[in-house]
Amino acid sequence: MNISKSIVVVNSIISDFTEIFVQRLVFRLNRLHKPGFTIIIEDETKLSQKCLEILNTLNSPFMIVSDIKQTPFYSVIPNVLPLFNQSPYKYMLINRERKIEPDIFQLKMDRSLNLEDNHIHTQMAFCNGNMDAEKGIAIGRVSGIGKMRFTEHSSQMYIPFHNFTSRDYYVHGLSITDKADYRIDNYLNLKRTHESDFIEFGLELDFDFSGKPIIYEQDLKHFDYILGAMHMIPEITPEAFLKQLEMVVTHNIDVLAHPFRIFKRNGKELPVKLFKPVAKILKESNTAAEINFHTNEPPEDFFRECLDMGVKLSFGSDSHNLGELGDFFYHLDFLKSLGVTGDYDKILWRKK
């Protein structure tokens, strides 16, 4: 067996959140660390089938051993290993090409940063993976974040599952909906049950092609936090995007969700020429820009424009899987690439 140049060692993974934190780890390894090999130190017989299925989505080889001495990498692994199954949920990255101390990473955010997750879905999202508000709150409380905001798709509160991706609702709005499909009261019940100083319920507000919110006004009034989204626009062109945005920001949205993701989703070239005018619109409307990595790559140059113009930035996990909730390792790394390494309060959106 060839000894890989980088090895991740994860020591003892069974905890109250085993499957969720293993999923979070796999997301990180596949997206950021990209190790040549991963070693899980655990009794494999104690792992659930679901946990094993998650591990099998790793993009690189891995092995599960009960004793580190059972691996061919034993000689390069320190005698003392951090525990993954206890807060702050640490794991180790060893780079064999450089004779330096191993890097220690953790799943838990630094609570002193007071980071807020402003984009989280619930079990009511038709597009959710394993989301559940109650479980999400438990994960949020141990993830080191200062606030969590659930933001369900407004359109999905009024349309049926079998047709939720239909363009018709963006053309005609609520006029073609059936009251038998309405679920907004269920979402309001979740809000009443779980809202607290730590937890807020808002909306990811969808808009029809005329720029009108896809929600009834009497329902919208229950929410104080609004994440504006453009999941569909009349045409996937820079001109149509700008026109729709100009209408969307007139509805007092707090944050613009995943700016420009719609172009990638539709296989279109990123409209670089819009970076400056979009940042200008956000600044003039006092709207924050969301840094979002859910099936998305935030364009650095756009966020540089935002920083230059004083547009506030918002962190959103856009969790459709509990493993994503409150993990801002990517977001902080992204800010570092923009030259921001501290004093996040100066640039991050905070609710007034």
pLDDT tens track for 252-287: 999 999 999 999 999 999 999 999 999 999 999 999
Q: How far apart are CA 116 and CA 326, in angstroms?
A: 8
pLDDT at 165: 86
Across the chain, the runs of DSSP E, i.e. the strands, are 6-11, 37-41, 62-65, 90-95, 103-106, 116-120, 147-153, 199-205, 226-228, 255-256, 288-292, 313-316
Per-residue pLDDT averaged across 278-306, rounded? 97
Q: For 200-220, how does the pLDDT look when each residue is reduced to its tens digit (9 = 90+)? A: 999 999 999 999 999 999 999
Q: Which two tokens stand for residue 174?
A: 């609520």
Query: pLDDT class for 98, splitting at 50, 70, 90?
Result: low
Is-above-0.85 flag for pTM? yes
Quick one: DSSP state of residue 130?
A: S
Task: Report yes or no: 296 and 261 within 8 Å, Cβ to Cβ.
Answer: yes
Of the CATH numbers 3.20.20.140, 3.90.1150.10, 3.40.605.10, 3.30.70.100, which one belongs to the domain with range 111-346? 3.20.20.140
CA-closest candidate to residue 103, choices 8, 21, 11, 197 = 8
Contacts with 258 (C-beta within 8 Å, 6 or more apart), sequence order: 229, 290, 292, 294, 296, 298, 316, 318
In the chain, what are the domain boundaries? 6-106, 111-346
pLDDT at 4: 56
